[in-house]
Chains A and B, each alone.
Chain A
């Protein structure tokens, strides 16, 4: 069946068709970037957006058809080399300018360039593999069954390759040792690290943790600075917003992340507890929380926007000059 398909004209035409479709699919990225506007013809828009998405499918079909098309694969090799080169050049352009550089100028994104390199490698290795399948199979069998060194030199291609690999491994051992040993100059630098007490690990935030531990009663639930997962770039309150760290020091106190007030937990929490404690964080760029004593309002969120009403507020100052509050929130 294989031989029948190999010389079949339909397969040849199909192969060519999918190669053209594949190239069109890559190029349609540029078309989408520059020629499509909201008032373009709907059919045109549909075709282009379909084309952009089918490159993987085309590529897989080409790989399948390659198996039946051994002859004339030289230009396919050139195509794959071209793809690798184009991908490398595009990603280098992105690397040396800015992330979206090639997308801006020719509409081909960084993801696409990496994809091109990957496709190129797969394609060329498949073409090489197809040509050498009998040799490869023999070699694999040798690799798993026989010992490479045991070969008697009958001079076959496979054995020569195997011997070459055997000699080559000596070089590889040396390379391995170099890569293993070179970074070892830095092995002992961690021994001099000063992270031997909590104040060096948590920096200036440790004093707040201590204030909470020593100044707040164990029965009083603690509200700490907000940790909102929707804002991963938030850099304030690195440690004192993270519950596992706080709990290590403050257990068995209940910890409350103010973000859960907005997640529908407000009534449950206010129903269960009436008093809450917290310390006022007073660093240069991160003051928390916002308290308005005149109107009896307090805000625990990231930018002091949503306010709670409170009934009473107690204020203490500990030895380090950190304000400790005990508050009764209105339901």
Chain B
């Protein structure tokens, strides 16, 4: 179990760390602004402290698979393999934004441009003003290095690998909470969810985003469960940093971080609350997430010479008031809920589920709080977006579901914890 966990954590966080370092070196950014240097130093610190403590810690959970679990594992391998086969058979990048943005940027990089130059590549395009810096460069860098060093294998295969890691991280993250068999079932349930599985067939940023969010949420949950596992805190922070570097338009990290801090500090745990070392570590993680989020904003502001697409204008307050007096705010919210559909219902149901086991209460509260915060964040975000752009319906229809799938692992996690309890109750009474 420990080997598996160390392997997965180290590979995923090393991916984030190495891509960030390569990016800063390639763009010659390190000494442009102190924030970049600070970010790299913090990230390296987190990685090495985390790596050191993950070896020292004694991992209490063990892998125990029964026949049912083995069958599920075979099914999961079949699902992952089908995604792998599909991706290795296609010659091109599919998906609109994947072609126009993520792969386009990597193609421009291959021709020798830096992202600084790519930001201002289209002086006459007023419709897609800051298009090339509207998303952080993580997936484009993966495309760039993959296509440079492994040109024979299509880059889509990386998305099958992300799916594999998502499955593995759910199994590893939930193993301690619900046991191996149920964790495998949960992982299978997540990767077979139609919209999520389709994300592994197109080269969008959503799948790596879901991977990083799920990984950080589960790491934080494990840390809240057992505060001696400090490595979970460090790696969770690195994963959350990875998520802000994949998509920055939805601040999912804010509800995650806030609910984590809230639950940590409201828990009746004097021993840990007053521990100086732990406070320093918490501060370090908090600082590095905020720094890395703003380092991308600094990059855009310094290197993009035009005006930004998503700027809030002076009439915002006016349009909010107007939308409430005319009633269009209510129809907008109703439409958002309608487009979100079944996925929202799943999240709401998982909010209502009550767990009785005292041990898991902390984790379930954490997951519920971050779900609630994110649902509010998404509704408010799409509503604010709808005030400025007539094409908000496109966002609400597809993007909302794709983007909010990052909450699915948390939501299914709550249900898995409850399911474990029910199974134990049934076993006891039988």
Contact = CB atoms under 8 A, between A and B. Distances in A.
Interface of A: 53, 55-56, 109-112, 114-115, 117-118, 144, 147-150, 162, 165-166, 168-170, 172-173, 175-177, 179-181, 183-184, 186-188, 190-191, 193, 195-198, 201, 227, 229, 232, 242-245, 247-248, 251-252, 254-257, 260, 263, 265, 269
Given A147-B357, A149-B357, 16 more contacts: A114-B327, A114-B330, A149-B358, A169-B354, A172-B352, A173-B419, A175-B349, A188-B82, A191-B82, A195-B94, A198-B92, A201-B94, A229-B127, A244-B100, A247-B121, A260-B126
Contacts of A147: 356-358, 361
Q: What interface size band does chain B fall in?
A: 35 or more
16 contacts: A111-B326, A166-B356, A176-B346, A176-B350, A180-B193, A180-B412, A183-B193, A187-B197, A196-B94, A244-B100, A245-B100, A251-B104, A255-B124, A260-B126, A263-B126, A265-B124
Interface stretch (B83-91, B275-283, B296-304, B378-386): B83-91
Given A176-B346, A196-B91, A255-B122, A187 B127 contact: no
B122 A177 contact: no
Given A150-B358, A176-B415, A180-B189, A255 B325 contact: no
B198 interface: yes
B90 A111 contact: no
Contact of B104 (A118, A144, A244): A244
B330 A111 contact: yes
B352 A169 contact: yes
Contacts of B193: 180, 183-184, 187
Contact of A242 (B92, B100, B356): B100
Nearest to B351: A172
Contact of B111 (A166, A187, A251, A263): A251
Contacts of A193: 201
Contacts of A172: 349, 352-353
B348 to A, nearest CB: 10
SS of A interface (majority): helix
Contacts, number: 151
A210 to B, nearest CB: 14
Contacts of A263: 126
B343 to A, nearest CB: 9
B31 interface: no
B136 to A, nearest CB: 17
B152 interface: no
Given A110-B331, A183-B342, A187-B192, A169 B353 contact: yes
Interface of B: 82, 86, 89-92, 94, 96, 99-101, 103-104, 107-108, 111, 121-122, 124-128, 131, 189, 192-194, 197-198, 201, 266, 324-328, 330-331, 334, 342, 345-346, 349-350, 352-358, 361, 365, 390-391, 412, 415, 418-419, 422
Given A248-B107, A269-B124, A179 B345 contact: yes
A260 B108 contact: no
B373 to A, nearest CB: 16
B418 A173 contact: yes
A48 to B, nearest CB: 15
Contacts of A260: 124, 126
A198 B99 CA distance: 10
Nearest to A241: B127
Contacts of A115: 327, 330
A84 B201 CA distance: 44
Contact of A190 (B92, B198, B325, B418): B198
Contacts of A196: 89-92, 94
Given A115-B327, A150-B358, A248 B124 contact: no
Contacts of A112: 327
